[in-house]
């Protein structure tokens, strides 16, 4: 009987601890979202020449620099070939750049900000994306990104990102 009571007690403690963690996680998520959204809003306010469009309620903004051509359909399995420059907001420190190398990615395997933003253009198009951390790498620091561009510790956790993306090819 004591074992059953002990098991039930441990189960209840474990369950209540999970509830507290998830509530704290939601509050932390909302707080970081507010910080990210303020960074993007302040950046757009400081750069009034940028005419950015917000994608739904995501907090991701895009600026179409060249729309591109064609009737391309994007799905999760679409492979895109791109050239890009990634910068931190605020500050504009470059953390990634492809230069003459044009990598290909399956759309479902890139950050959510790209999944939302790249379909705003067609083949040959160019888009600028302002991506809050929740649609990039979130609270996970990326120590391998940015080191070659002078970011000593790599891309920090909760980084708000600014991407210039040229879409070279689309394969479905």
- Residue 113: asked if its preceding bond is cis (omega within 30°), the reply is no
Answer yes or no: is 13 within a domain.
Answer: no
Q: What is the pLDDT of residues 113-131, one digit of tens each?
A: 999 999 999 999 999 999 9
Joined together, the tokens standing for residue 121 give 């253009």
User: What pLDDT shows up at residue 24?
Assistant: 55
Answer yes or no: is 35 within a domain.
Answer: yes
Quote the pTM value: 0.84
Partner residues linked to 73 by β-bridges = none
Answer yes or no: is 14 within a domain.
Answer: no
Answer yes or no: is 17 within a domain.
Answer: no
Domain that holds residue 68: 27-171
In a 3-state reduction of DSSP, which class is residue 38? helix
Answer yes or no: is 4 within a domain.
Answer: no
User: Total domain count for the chain?
Assistant: 1
Answer yes or no: is 93 within a domain.
Answer: yes
* Low-confidence residues of the chain: pLDDT under 50: 1-23
Q: How would you classify residue 167: left for phi > 0, otherwise alpha for psi between -120 and 50, otherwise beta? A: beta
Q: State the first-to-last Cα distance of the chain, in angstroms, to the nearest integer.
A: 61
Answer yes or no: is 8 within a domain.
Answer: no
Strand positions, DSSP E, the chain: 53-54, 61-66, 79-89, 94-97, 104-106, 126-131, 160-171
Label the pairing between strands 94-97 and 79-89.
antiparallel
Indicate which CATH number applies to the domain containing 149. Answer: 3.10.50.40
Answer yes or no: is 2 within a domain.
Answer: no
């Amino acid at each position: 009987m004591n074992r059953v009571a002990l098991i039930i007690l441990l189960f209840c403690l474990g369950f209540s601890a999970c509830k507290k963690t998830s509530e704290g996680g939601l509050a932390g998520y909302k707080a970081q979202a507010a910080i990210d959204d303020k960074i993007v809003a302040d950046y757009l306010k400081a750069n009034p020449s940028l005419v950015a469009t917000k994608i739904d309620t995501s907090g991701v903004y895009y600026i179409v620099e060249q729309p591109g051509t064609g009737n391309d359909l994007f799905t999760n399995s679409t492979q895109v070939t791109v050239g890009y420059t990634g910068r931190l907001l605020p500050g504009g420190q470059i953390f990634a750049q492809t230069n003459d190398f044009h990598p290909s990615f399956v759309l479902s395997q890139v950050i959510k900000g790209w999944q939302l933003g790249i379909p705003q253009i067609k083949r040959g198009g160019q888009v600028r994306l302002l991506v809050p951390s929740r649609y990039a790498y979130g609270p996970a620091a990326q120590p391998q990104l940015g080191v070659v561009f002078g970011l000593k510790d790599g891309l920090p956790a909760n980084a708000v990102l600014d991407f210039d993306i040229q879409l070279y090819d689309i394969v479905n």
